[in-house]
Structure 1
Amino acid sequence: MLIDRVEASVFGTNCYVLAPQAGAECVVVDPGVDVADRLAEVLRRHRLKPVAVLLTHGHVDHTYSVTPVCGAYGVAATIHHDDAHRLRDPLAGLGEPLRAALEATTGTVRWKDPEEVVTVGDAQRLALAGLDLTVSHAPGHTEGSVLFSLEPSAARGQDVPLLLSGDVLFAGSIGRTDLPGGDPLAMRRSLATRVLPLADATVVLPGHGPATTIGRERAANPHLRGL
């Protein structure tokens, strides 16, 4: 199993590349601000061919580079249907401080939609690049936030479950609920019904910050207590 990460230049968003092995097809997850060139280098180094771009949700810090990345490799952007509207105007409702932070680094943002968008729903299975991913709808950070999970596979040397948690769960924290699409009650339900039932050994690859495990978060994350 090959997993690599590129950290975006603004907001510290994690962009992941997942593949069964080097020299294979891969999926790209959450291409954030100005990651396209560094992502291309990762793909060249591992001799990978993207077959899809997966989006954990539609906020611009996770989608900023989706159109150039999809265009460069001729692949679709995949997003939950409740967040698909954000790909038409990801800056809407961003708020002046966040917009200013973004434009201070990138200049004025001129947005163009991806040419092809695939929408997914809860419990949908995605067979991509030799990986069998399951979509779990986990609203709270946005209406269409999802988790992408990958069960262990001896064939690709993956002995523990993996979870791409987007901005639902971080090491020691959770995603904000005061941004566009946020809902504190929905977030609590998602944490209680989508996150806590997962096995302790599950490795969590979050949208920001370092990797963690469900067991570590169950024991120490203050936002999971009492759920």
Structure 2
Amino acid sequence: MKISLKILIVDDHPMTVDSYINLLSDTDFQKKQPSFIKSYNCEDAYNKIKLQQIENINIDFALLDISLPPFKELNINNGIDLAILIREKFANCKIVLLTMHSDPLTVDKIIKEIKPEGFISKSDINFELFPIICKKILEGDIYRSNTIIQSQRNLFKKNINWDKHDNQILTLIYQGVKTVNLPNYIPLSMSAIEKRKANIKDQLLKGKGSDKDLIEKAKKLGLLQ
């Protein structure tokens, strides 16, 4: 029988690895004929990744705990370094990072550098949700658990450089008020409003995008409800 789905699972707790395998061995995943590669530390995971590459066998899906015993010889210190390696060797592999820690700077760094298809705080998931989330990721979804999303929002809010008038501009645009009419609501000149709006777009969209794009980005970040 041809193996159509190769899944790498790396966690330093063997019982956790076995739990993931059990959860992903339901009917939906069995239809895809999954084959599991188990590993409990960075060195063993590195060796198994390299073996798959040598044998020209793809890794399709990787579940990586961030905190792992390191492989100091090659400076592979955690699941983040393994994710970088997998990105280099298996470009189409969908990567899910799991963590018990969600400090904003680390979360931001991981999302920018690795762009994982899944980023999950272990405190956010249970046995019922886990296979559902993984199935959606395999089908093409990008998933961030609630704690990870909140961590991103907190970092972004700390770095936003604007005042109450900027918040008013964003809120009024969200409510459908056209830019030309904003001076009727805010005690600023049209020139000042346009400069502030450009600053908001710079910070949220790096200057590129429509008002609709601006609102969608602000909603994703939790700046608008």
TM-score by length of 2: 0.32
Query: Higher relative contact order at CA 8 Å, sep ≥6: structure 1 or structure 2?
Result: 1
Larger Rg computed on CA atoms? 2
TM-score by length of 1: 0.32
Name the structure with the higher strand share: 1
